[in-house]
C-alpha cells in the first residue's frame, strides 16, 4: 500500500518508513523540515535500497495534501507531523495549536475530500495527565498539564468524533511512552537542535564529551532510588507498532476509533538509564543532582496488554539495545 507519512523525515517517522518498506509498503514522506533534514531521505535510501518519494511541504497546506493523496494513490496516512517541545508550548501555545491542531484539521479535510479514511496518529502518554494509578491503561482518565499535551488530547477527541460521524474512518491513536534508540545502521536517530530537553539524547552527548554532565532533575521522588521513572521504548519497536496498527485497521475490527499504549510496561529510573548507558558506551556519564523539573511526575509506565491482544504487537528490544543503538548513532551520524 502507498502510505503517506506526515513528519516522515523526523525521528519516529524515518524509523517507521524503514519498517513499512520492509513490510512491502511504499512510504511517501511529507515534511516541512522544521525539525529534520532532507538528508534523511538519502540515509533511508542507503538503509533500504529504495528512494522514497519526498514532498517538502506543510500539513496546513490543504490543497497540497489533497494533491499528494490523490496523485500518489495513498491508501493510509501515518500522521507524525507536529511540534513536541513541552517548554516551548508553554511559551508559544498559539503556535502549537496552529501547527498541531490546525495542521491535523487540514490533513483530515484533505483525507475526507479524497476518500482516504485510514489514519494512524502519533499520540502520547501525556494525554493521561497526572497518573491516578500505575501502570497506565487505555481507560485511565485523560487530561493535560501543558499546551503540547492539550493539542494531543484535542486531536484525539476530534478523531473520536470524526470516526463516530461516518463509516469510512478507521483511526488508531498510538500513545507513545518514551521513545529512545536508533536504527541498527546508525544512519538515522534522534539529533535535536541545541541542548536536548529529553534524557536519552542528553546522556548521549555527555557520554560523547559534548556536554560536561547530566543534571538529574530530583532525587527525592517516591521511587526506588528517588529519581524519575519512565517507560523507555526502542524506536524500532515503536515503528513496528505502526505496521501492526495499519494491519489492524485494515481488518474487520478496524472500523472506528481506537487508542493503544505503545510502551514496554517496564519502568527505569534516571540513574538506571545513566548506568545502562555507561555500560553500553564504555564511557562515564557524570551527573549532578539538580532540583525537580516543574511539571514532571514521579513515575509513568504503561500497561501494554491491549496492543498485545489486539495488534499482536509487543516491545521486544532491551534497555541495552536502546543505549547501544543511541551510542552507535551518536558516533556515526549525529552532528
Ligand atoms: P520530530 O520532530 O523528529 O518529527 C516531527 C516531524 O514533523 C519533523 O520532521 C518536523 O519537521 C515535521 N513537522 C512539524 N510540523 C510540521 C508541519 N506543519 N508540516 C509538515 N511537517 C511538520 O519528532 P518525533 O519524535 O519523530 O515525533 C513524531 C510525533 O510523535 C510527533 O507528533 C510527536 O508529538 C509524537 N510523540 C513523540 C514523542 C517523543 O518523545 N519523541 C513522544 C510521544 C509522541
Ligand atoms: C525523562 C526523565 C526527567 C532530562 C517527555 C514529554 C512527553 C513525551 C516524551 C512527547 C524525567 C529526567 C530529563 C535531563 C533528567 N513527548 N531528566 N535530566 O518528561 O518523561 O516526557 O518526552 O509526547 O510529553 O514530556 O521525558 O526524557 O524529558 O525525561 O533528570 O536533562 O529524565 O526529570 O524523570 P518525559 P524526558
Q: What is the pLDDT of residues 33-51, one digit of tens each?
A: 999 999 999 999 999 999 9
Q: Provide CB contacts within 8 A for 162, sequence distance 6+.
A: 108, 169, 171, 257
Q: What CATH number corresponds to the domain at position 43?
A: 3.40.50.720
pLDDT score at 193: 86
Q: Is 18 inside any structural domain?
A: yes
pLDDT at 334 over 90: no
What is the count of structural domains for the chain?
1
Is 166 or 171 the better-scoring residue by pLDDT? 171
Q: Is 215 inside any structural domain?
A: no
Q: Is 66 inside any structural domain?
A: yes
Cβ–Cβ under 8 Å, residues 244 and 307: yes
Residues 87-111, mean pLDDT to the nearest whole number:
97
Q: Is 188 inside any structural domain?
A: no
Any alpha helices (H) in the chain, and if so which ranges? Answer: 11-22, 39-48, 62-71, 86-91, 93-96, 103-114, 147-165, 199-207, 235-250, 270-281, 305-306, 319-332
Provide the mean pLDDT of the chain: 97
Q: Is 319 inside any structural domain?
A: no
pLDDT at 295 over 90: no
Between the CA of residue 325 and those of 13, 41, 247, 296, what are the distances in Å?
17, 20, 27, 26
pLDDT score at 325: 98
Q: Is 283 inside any structural domain?
A: no
- Pocket test of ligand 1: the residue of 8, 10, 259 to mutate, having most ligand atoms within 8 Å of its CB, is 10
At 232-260, the pLDDT tens digits run 999 999 999 999 999 999 999 999 999 99
* Short-list 307, 315, 310, 311, CA closest to 264: 315
At 124-148, the pLDDT tens digits run 999 999 999 999 999 999 999 999 9
pLDDT score at 167: 83
Q: Is 237 inside any structural domain?
A: yes
pLDDT at 205 over 80: yes
Q: Is 56 inside any structural domain?
A: yes
Q: What percent of the chain has pLDDT over 70?
A: 100
Confidence of residue 60 (pLDDT cuts 50, 70, 90): very high
- Ligand 1 proximal residues by C-beta, below 6 Å: 6-7, 9-13, 31-36, 58-60, 80-84, 99, 103, 122, 124, 176, 179
Q: Nearest C-alpha to atom 27 of ligand 2 is from which residue?
A: 198
pLDDT at 335 over 80: no
pLDDT score at 266: 97
Is 148 annotated as catalytic? yes
**By residue range, what is the domain housing residue 86?**
2-181+232-263
Q: What percent of the chain has pLDDT over 90?
A: 97
Q: Which residues of 99-115 are buried (b: 16+ CB within 10 A; e: fewer)?
A: bbbbbbbbbbebbbebe
Confidence of residue 192 (pLDDT cuts 50, 70, 90): confident
Q: Which of 11, 96, 128, 148 is catalytic?
A: 148
Which ligand has an atom closest to residue 9 CA? 1
Amino acid at each position: 500500500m502507498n502510505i503517506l507519512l506526515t513528519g516522515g523525515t523526523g525521528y519516529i517517522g524515518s524509523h517507521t518508513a524503514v519498517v513499512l518498506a520492509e513490510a512491502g509498503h511504499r512510504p511517501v514522506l511529507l515534511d516541512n523540515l522544521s525539525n529534520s533534514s532532507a538528508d534523511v531521505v538519502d540515509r533511508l535510501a542507503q538503509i533500504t535500497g529504495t528512494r522514497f518519494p519526498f514532498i517538502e511541504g506543510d500539513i496546513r497546506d490543504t490543497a497540497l495534501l489533497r494533491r499528494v493523496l490523490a496523485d500518489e494513490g495513498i491508501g493510509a496516512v501515518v500522521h507524525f507531523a507536529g511540534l513536541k517541545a513541552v517548554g516551548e508550548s508553554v511559551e508559544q501555545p498559539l503556535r502549537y495549536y496552529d501547527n498541531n491542531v490546525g495542521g491535523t484539521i487540514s490533513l483530515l479535510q484533505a483525507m475526507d475530500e479524497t476518500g482516504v479514511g485510514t489514519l494512524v496518529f502519533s499520540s502520547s502518554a501525556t494525554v493521561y495527565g497526572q497518573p491516578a494509578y500505575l501502570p497506565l491503561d487505555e481507560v485511565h482518565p485523560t487530561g493535560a498539564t501543558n499546551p503540547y499535551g492539550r493539542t494531543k488530547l484535542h486531536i484525539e477527541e476530534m478523531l473520536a468524533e470524526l470516526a463516530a460521524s461516518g463509516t469510512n474512518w478507521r483511526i488508531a491513536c498510538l500513545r507513545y511512552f518514551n521513545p529512545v534508540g536508533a536504527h541498527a545502521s546508525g544512519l538515522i536517530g534522534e539529533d535535536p537542535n541545541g541542548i536536548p530537553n529529553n534524557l536519552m539524547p542528553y546522556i548521549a552527548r555527555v557520554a560523547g564529551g559534548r556536554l560536561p554532565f547530566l543534571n538529574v532533575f530530583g532525587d527525592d521522588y517516591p521511587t526506588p532510588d528517588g529519581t524519575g521513572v519512565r517507560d523507555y521504548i526502542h524506536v524500532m519497536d515503536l515503528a513496528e507498532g505502526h505496521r501492526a496498527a495499519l494491519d489492524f485497521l485494515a481488518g474487520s475490527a478496524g472500523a472506528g476509533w481506537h487508542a493503544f499504549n505503545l510502551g514496554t510496561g517496564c519502568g527505569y529510573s534516571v540513574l538506571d538509564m545513566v548506568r545502562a548507558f555507561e555500560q553500553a558506551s564504555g564511557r562515564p556519564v557524570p551527573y549532578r543532582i539538580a532540583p525537580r523539573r516543574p511539571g514532571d511526575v514521579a513515575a509513568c509506565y504503561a500497561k501494554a496488554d491491549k496492543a498485545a491482544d489486539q495488534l499482536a504487537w509487543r516491545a521486544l528490544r532491551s534497555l541495552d539495545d536502546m543505549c547501544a543503538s543511541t551510542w552507535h548513532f551518536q558516533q556515526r551520524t549525529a552532528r
